[in-house]
């Protein structure tokens, strides 16, 4: 065991020294055919692999005579992609790529392949909105909590009132998730500037009712992020505190036709039950790869009498009830059962099915598809 530990220490030291003394590499490099070349200087390594969102498992990289390992992918779709290296089974970031995102507690490098959907995720030369980290008091939860709020370009210097989208994250995420890995601010800026989406206020809450904020951003300290959330009936009742704060502190249009709620996975679960328990509050609901049913051991009034609650919600004729999921998503079957239940009752909804599974590339796509459908007056 001591020999293995010593070997790992020597490997890290050798890699660090080589990274400091070797010339900077251009990694990753997006080629003209949209293939991507990855490089890493690791002359002491025995094996180097690439892990990425576009690779199943890991791909072996090839070592050159200069100690630089390389790998060139197949042409990739225009999108935001993420990756990291495995150097002799030690996971590390690309020392030549300063762009990093966090998903729960995993850090990954990222890059954007342009010329298509990926252009929505770039910072472009368009009017930019403002992202604020805002604290509010939740009377229901008995604590101060933090949320992220996007206001469109011109909000600070104007007097207009705006519709509001409440955009919720998945399990393991927080109020930063949609902004960091979801590229939400770039999506809002670009679609609004193109006239594809209405100017709107977007509220991104923290759906883990146990915590005040994202890890390290509150008096709770620098605890290790973990894969968890609140699907126990504690978060949904507190949502009225969020709406009350937003309506009292921002220039909002305070009616259902100007309110939307949407989320991915656990956030879709919250959107489903918040909107059902608050009929007449949201005219637009979006379920992105949503968890549908509470756990067998979870008992809360929030999740009871859903047939009656849905009947009331759909009697109010929401302008859009949107569902989207990948055909390989582990929640696909539950979504199909829920859609069958809606169909049996004649409730109208819009459904989109994509390739792939439970992944951010789908959720960013769904957001881009959902936004242009919001706040269109009939």
Is the pLDDT assigned to residue 4 strictly greater than 50?
A: no
Contact 147/212 with Cβ under 8 angstroms? no
What confidence score (pLDDT) does residue 24 get? 82
Confidence bin at 23 (pLDDT 50/70/90): low
Instruction: Specify whether 319 is located in the same domain as 202.
Output: yes
Q: Which H or E run includes 7?
A: helix 2-21
Mean pLDDT for the chain overall: 93
Residue 10 confidence (pLDDT): 47
Which residue in 101, 9, 7, 29 sits closest to 364, CA to CA? 101
- The answer to whether residues 28 and 163 belong to one domain is no
Pairing of strands 201-204, 164-168: parallel
Co-location of 95 and 178 in the same domain: no
Q: What is the mean pLDDT of residues 272-284?
A: 97
HSE at residue 231, side-chain half, CA atoms within 13 A, is 25
The answer to whether residue 362 sits within a structural domain is yes
Residues 149 and 248 in one domain: yes
Tell me, yes or no, whether 2 lies in a domain: no
Neighbours of 64 (CB within 10 A): 12
Q: Residue 272: which domain range? A: 124-373
93 and 214 assigned to the same domain: no
Using the 3D structure, point to which of 64, 91, 115 is the last residue of a domain.
115
The owner of tokens 């011109």 is 154
Residue 378, domain member (yes or no)? no
Residues 111 and 130 occupy one common structural domain:
no
Which value, in Å, is the radius of gyration of the alpha carbons in the chain? 23
pLDDT score at 221: 84
Segment among 21-30, 262-271, 272-281, 354-363 with least mean pLDDT: 21-30
What tens digit of pLDDT does each residue of 217-269 get?
888 888 877 766 789 999 999 999 999 999 999 999 999 999 999 999 999 99
How far does CA 185 lie from the centroid of its chain? 11
Domain boundary, last residue among 53, 86, 115:
115
Do 56 and 176 lie in one domain? The reply is no
Question: Does the pLDDT at position 342 exceed 80?
Answer: yes
CATH of the domain at 319: 3.40.50.1820
pLDDT score for 217: 86
Q: Do 234 and 195 meet the contact criterion of CB atoms below 8 Å apart?
A: no
Is 6 a member of any domain? no
Is the residue at 110 inside a domain? yes
| 99 and 150, same domain (yes or no) | no
Asked whether residue 51 is assigned to any structural domain, the reply reads yes
Dist CA 212 CA 233 (whole Å): 17
Cross-strand pairs, 83: 52, 109
Strands 48-52 and 59-60: antiparallel
The pLDDT of residue 139: 97
Mark whether 102 and 128 lie in a shared domain: no
Is 0.85 topped by the overall pTM? yes
- In sequence order, the 6+-apart residues with CB closer than 8 A to the CB of 151 are 129, 130, 132, 162, 201, 250
CA dihedral 216, 294, 320, 172 (to 10 degrees): 20
The contacts of residue 190 (CB under 8 Å, 6+ apart) are: 119, 120, 122, 124, 126
What residues have CB less than 8 Å from 107, skipping those under 6 apart? 84, 93, 100, 101
Structural domains of the chain, count: 2
| Inside any domain, residue 254 | yes
d(CA 230, CA 210): 8
Count of residues in the chain: 378
101 with 183: CB under 8 angstroms? Answer: no
Do 106 and 157 lie in a common domain? no
Same domain? For 95 and 135 the reply is no
Q: Which of 115, 145, 173 is the last residue of a domain?
A: 115
What's 23's DSSP letter?
P
Domain CATH for 94: 2.60.40.10
Do residues 152 and 164 make contact, with C-beta atoms less than 8 angstroms apart?
A: no
In a domain, 10, yes or no: no
Looking at the structure, do residues 40 and 170 belong to the same domain, yes or no?
no
Asked whether the beta carbons of 289 and 362 are under 8 A apart, the reply is yes
């Amino acid at each position: 065991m001591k020999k293995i530990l010593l070997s790992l220490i020597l490997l890290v030291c050798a890699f660090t020294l080589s990274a400091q003394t070797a010339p900077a590499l251009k990694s990753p490099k997006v080629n003209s055919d949209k293939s991507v070349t990855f490089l890493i200087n690791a002359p002491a390594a025995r094996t180097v692999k690439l892990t990425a969102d576009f690779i199943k498992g890991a791909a072996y990289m090839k070592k050159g005579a200069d100690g630089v390992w390389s790998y060139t992918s197949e042409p990739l779709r225009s999108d935001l992609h993420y990756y990291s290296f495995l150097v002799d089974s030690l996971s590390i970031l690309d020392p030549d790529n300063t762009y990093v995102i966090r998903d729960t507690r995993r850090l990954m490098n990222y890059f954007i392949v342009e010329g298509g959907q990926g252009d929505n995720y770039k910072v472009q030369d368009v009017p930019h909105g403002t992202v604020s980290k805002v604290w509010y008091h939740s009377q229901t939860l008995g604590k101060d909590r933090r949320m992220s709020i996007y206001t469109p370009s011109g909000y600070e210097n104007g007097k207009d009132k705006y519709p509001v989208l409440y955009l919720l994250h998945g399990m393991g995420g927080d109020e930063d998730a949609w902004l960091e890995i979801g590229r939400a601010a770039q999506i809002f800026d670009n679609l609004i500037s193109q006239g594809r989406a209405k100017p709107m206020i977007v509220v991104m809450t923290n759906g883990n009712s146990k915590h005040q904020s994202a890890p390290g951003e509150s008096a709770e300290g620098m605890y290790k992020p973990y894969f968890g959330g609140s699907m126990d009936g504690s978060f949904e009742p507190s949502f009225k505190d969020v709406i009350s704060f937003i309506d009292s502190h921002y220039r909002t249009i305070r009616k259902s036709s100007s309110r939307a709620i949407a989320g991915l996975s656990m956030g879709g679960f919250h959107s489903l039950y918040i909107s059902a328990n608050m009929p007449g509050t949201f005219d637009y609901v979006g379920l992105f790869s949503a968890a549908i049913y509470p756990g067998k051991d979870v008992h809360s009034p929030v999740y009871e009498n859903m047939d009656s609650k849905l009947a009331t919600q759909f009697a109010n004729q929401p302008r859009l009830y949107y569902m989207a999921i990948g055909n390989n998503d582990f929640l696909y079957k539950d979504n199909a059962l829920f859609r069958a239940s809606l169909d049996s009752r004649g409730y109208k909804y819009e459904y989109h099915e994509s390739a792939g599974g439970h992944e951010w590339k789908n959720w960013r796509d769904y957001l881009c598809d959902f936004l242009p459908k919001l706040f269109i007056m009939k």
